[in-house]
Amino acid sequence: DQIDGLSPAISIDQKSTSRNPRSTVATVTEIYDYLRLLFARVGVPHCPVCGKTVSRQTSAVIVDQVVTHNAGGRLMILAPVVKDKKGQFEHIPEQYSRLGFVRARVDGVVYSLDEWPELDKNFKHKIEIVVDRIVNDEESRGRLVQSVEQALELADGHLLIVNADTKAEHHYSLMYACMDHPDVTIPELEPRTFSFNSPHGACPVCTGLGNRLEVDPELVIPNGRLTIAEGAIRPFNRV
């Protein structure tokens, strides 16, 4: 004998209520920690934009994808070291010149590190170090592997491939990343990822409390036909 389609039920005493916003059905019934472990172990990450399953990539898989998508093309291998950050980044030329690099792409334009542009510190910039420029053929496979691994090391697991012939750009990552939305990366699934008490899992807007404080203009000024002198701003009338 069996019963199908029966949803799990939890019984909670109505008298044991709590006004603490961090008190939920899961915490009251003590299944909260078990659920966090379950989701961290068997959870499958999905792209929050398109909903497709995302998976972790290795350097070998990345090289295979680069070869497949850019057969015979001229490639520029970039290591994104600055992504949408404000500043002038005057340390970049000296730092990467010491490592043997000679060029960088700044906001889409390739510059020599010896001719570093003057950047506006009030605007966000994108800076990628040019690791290599090669032709994607069988003879260059070993060099491609080495350059890809070097770029991944420089950019903390991120890599940008630019096809000079088609102008197409592809972002790759050693982390969980969506191929259709390369700017979307998902951290490693851990129990703390599903904890609203941890900054790693809490909502950045409500910080895990489930509430958000906002001002309702209609409550502040319920009658828009009144002037300020007539008491249009309701909170001022209570002072």
> For 55-186, CATH number?
3.30.190.20
Residue 16 has pLDDT above 60, yes or no: no
Q: What is the mean pLDDT of residues 90-96?
A: 93
pLDDT at 14: 64
* Cα-to-chain-centroid distance, residue 161: 19
Residue 48: predicted pLDDT = 86
Task: Note the pTM of the prediction, 2 decimals.
Answer: 0.59
Q: How far apart are alpha carbons 83 and 73 in whole angstroms?
A: 26
Kindly list the domain boundaries of the chain, sorted by start residue: 22-43+189-202, 55-186, 209-239
Q: Is 84 left (phi over 0), alpha (psi -120 to 50) or beta?
A: left
The answer to whether the CB of 146 falls within 8 A of the CB of 154 is no
Q: Read off the pLDDT of residues 72-83 as tens digits, 9 standing for 90 and up.
A: 789 999 999 998
Cα separation values, 50 from 39, 158, 176, Å: 21, 21, 14
